[in-house]
Amino acid sequence: MQRKAIVLACALGSGGCSVGPDFARPTVPPAERYTRDTLRAEDSTASDNVQHIALGREIEGNWWTLFHSDAIDQLVTQALDHNRSLAASMATLAQAQEFALARAGSQYPQVNLTAGAGRQQYGKEFLGPIGIPPFTYFAITPTVSYMLDYTGGVARGVEQQYALAEVEQHQRDAAYLTVTGQAVMQTLAIASVRAQIDTIETILVQDRDNLRLVQSAFDNGSVAREDVVSAQSQIANDMTLLPPLRQDLAKARHALSVVLGRAPASELPQDLDLVQITLPLQLPVSLPSELAHRRPDILAAEARLHAATSAVGVAQSNLYPKIQLTASVGPQSLKLDQLFDKSNNAWSILAGLTTPIFDGGTLRAEKRAAVDAMRASAATYEQTVLEAFAQVADLLEGLGHDAEQLDAQDHAQQAAQSSLDLARISYREGNVGVLQVLDAERSYQQARLGYVRAVAQRYLDTVQLFLALGGTNPGAAPPRSEVAHVF
């Protein structure tokens, strides 16, 4: 009785109704901040070398322009113009949008035109004693058919298809973010590896100076042959550091070529040095409540939930009878020259009803499966949001530790340089052996490389933070911000 009442109410209602749940934008998990510790507000001009976050602000313009590098701007532009993955994503989006438009057409009456000519012979048993000789007929019949969507199942299907198209739109946005991020990341990776190679080459120059010092002492008879061999061994060991770095440099250049839509053998723009790239000191960071409305992966998960919710309505509408209305009108004639006489017009109006009676529980099982899929999509959405919060929190913490690591590496480098200088002076005066000098060189090498890597990591983590925040949001007006000192 309840189902019959629903059917009657929908059929008689002027606007119809839609079965199944209506989609409502999910509530973002409550979070006032990304990390457990409350950020401490501080004047952002207190230091010229300390990064600060502008809490509650959105990135204005393109995020990569915050590095103030014309070369990076040009690389990103080239990547957006020629990247194949982005082109594929845009084509996939266009395909999904066309599918949605095609599905939307099912809401309207379908008009077809049928024209035919034929020759017909009836058997004697068909009409009894009245015999009809063979005849030729001509007909033109426009037909209009319409599925009466009193349950809203067709509308739910259209809603689902548009939600799936929205998923592809956010996937395109994610591809855009990935391409721009990779262009900048690979550029920074190249700069980082080149800086490490330059550092090793500088260390090798110092190793050769040390070898000349030891060789001179050996020639004067003040040291043993073992000291010369040890100095030569140090050079050989430091030389082993270059091939892996050169391989990393080649891989980064090849990866950048792919991002730019080029073959690895193609010529690339000139490599950049880290000193040519300005580290952003003001980092716009949106609030957690706004992050869910910016990140493409979260928005895609929301659109998938929308599609799953619509699918429940489609499955529920399949439980009700379907009503098909069909009308046709057109001339029919045995003579072609009389086909369009008004007296030869024929018409028909049909209404067909199909209702499920017994299907072995298929339709109800499909509805339960759709509900389960909707619940799974809701849980996936919440998980995606939580993982996004965690990623931003990790990077905020990471940038703080990057600053600490850079400061520690700077002190370690200075201390190691002083220790090496003293060891060399002591070696010339004969107070220490060559092993002490080599130990001091190894400490300096590790400190120098550690400093270069710490500088590069700070750049890379800054890029990762911009990507984790969803990149650029040109349509959002930046709200008032609170500048907080985080590291």
Domain of 143, in residue numbers: 109-148+322-355
Sequence-separated (6 or more) residues with CB below 8 Å from residue 2: none
The pLDDT averaged over each successive group of 10 residues in the chain (487 residues) is 44 58 87 68 50 84 92 94 94 94 91 87 69 80 90 92 96 95 95 92 86 84 83 90 95 95 90 90 89 92 96 94 89 78 82 89 94 96 94 92 91 91 84 80 87 93 94 46 34
In the three-class reduction of DSSP (H, G, I as helix; E, B as strand; rest coil), residue 404 is classed as helix
pLDDT at 41: 38
DSSP secondary structure string, 9-58? HHHHSSS----SPPP-PPPPPP-S-SSSSPPEE--TTS-SS--EEEETPP
- Same domain, yes or no, for 203 and 267? yes
pLDDT at 48: 57
- Report how far residue 191's alpha carbon sits from residue 458's, in angstroms, rounded to the nearest whole number: 13
- Report how far residue 18's alpha carbon sits from residue 30's, in angstroms, rounded to the nearest whole number: 32
- Same domain, yes or no, for 308 and 375? yes
Number of compact structural domains in the chain: 2
* H or E, element range at 207: helix 153-219
DSSP letter assigned to residue 435: H
- Same domain, yes or no, for 244 and 313? yes
- Same domain, yes or no, for 210 and 342? no
pLDDT at 209: 83
- Same domain, yes or no, for 89 and 137? no
- Same domain, yes or no, for 91 and 194? yes
What's the length of the chain? 487
- Same domain, yes or no, for 229 and 140? no
- Same domain, yes or no, for 218 and 185? yes
pLDDT at 120: 82
- Same domain, yes or no, for 87 and 104? yes
Amino acid occupying residue 228: V
Write the CATH number for 143. Answer: 2.20.200.10
- Report how far residue 385's alpha carbon sits from residue 376's, in angstroms, rounded to the nearest whole number: 14
Sequence-separated (6 or more) residues with CB below 8 Å from residue 482: 41, 54, 55, 56
What is the radius of gyration, based on Cα positions, of the chain?
37
Contact predicate 430/222, CB 8 Å: yes
Match 């600060």 to its residue by tokens: 52
- Same domain, yes or no, for 329 and 227? no
Could you say which of 355, 377, 412 is where a domain stops? Answer: 355
- Report how far residue 31's alpha carbon sits from residue 303's, in angstroms, rounded to the nearest whole number: 22
